[in-house]
């Protein structure tokens, strides 16, 4: 299964989080919002002009910049 980063996902696509490579501060914030290895994640939409990403994890909708999404490795879900 090829791994890629969250920021390469297209709107409407689902994936599973494989790893989070972030420093402690970012890691804790992501953890508190429900980002965990093995969780399913969906990219809902992207803002225009390389703006933030809108992702959904279970019951939680989150917006984040692409630079932060890049730290999250995923593998595409079937």
Partner 1 sequence: MKRVALLGMPNTGKSTLFNRISGASARVGNWPGITVDLMSAKILLGGYIAELVDLPGIYDLHGFSDDEQVVRRFLAHNEVDLVILVLNTTQIDRQLSLALQVRTLGLPVMLMLNMADEARRSGISVNTEAMSRQLGMPVATLSAKYGEGFPQALQLAAQTMQAAEQHPAPAEVQARLDTVTKIEQEMESIVKESVQIPVQLTDALTARLDKTLLHPWLGLPIFFIALFLLFQFIFTLGTPLQDAVAWALELGRTSLLDPLMASWPHWLSGLLLDGIYNGVGTVAAFVPLIILFFFVMTMVEDSGYLSRAAFLMDAFMARLGLDGRGFVMVLMGFGCNVPALMGTRVMRNRASRLLTMLVIPFSLCSARLQVFLFMTAVLFTPQQAPVVLFGMYLMSFAITFLSALLFKRHFKSSEPFILELPPYRFPTPRQILLRGWQEVGHFLHRASKFIIAGVVLVWVLTHYPVDAQSSLDTYAGMIGHFLSPVLTPIGIDDHLSIALIFGFVAKEVVVGSLAVIYGQQGDALTQLMAAQLDWVKGVSFMLFTLIYTPCLATIATLKTESRSRAFMWLSIGWSLSLAWIVSFVFYQGARALGF
**Which one among 8, 33, 70, 76 touches partner 1, defined by CB under 8 A?**
33
Residue 45 near partner 1 by CB under 8 A: yes
Give the nearest distance from C-beta 73 to partner 1 in angstroms: 17
Q: Which of 51, 47, 30 is nearest to 39 (CA)?
A: 30
Q: By C-beta, is 2 or 10 nearer to partner 1?
A: 10
CB-neighbour burial class of residue 27 (10 A; exposed 0-12, middle 13-18, buried 19+): middle
Candidates 2, 24, 38, 78: give the one binding partner 1 (CB under 8 A).
Answer: 24
Closest CA to 11 of 52, 64, 53: 53
């Amino acid at each position: 299964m090829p791994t890629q980063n969250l920021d390469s996902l297209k709107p409407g696509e689902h994936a599973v989080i494989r790893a989070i490579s972030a420093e402690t501060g970012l890691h804790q914030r992501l953890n508190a919002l429900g980002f965990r290895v093995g969780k399913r994640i969906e990219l809902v939409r992207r803002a225009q002009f390389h703006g933030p990403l809108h992702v959904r994890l279970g019951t939680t909708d989150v917006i984040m910049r692409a630079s932060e999404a890049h730290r999250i490795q995923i593998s595409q879900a079937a």
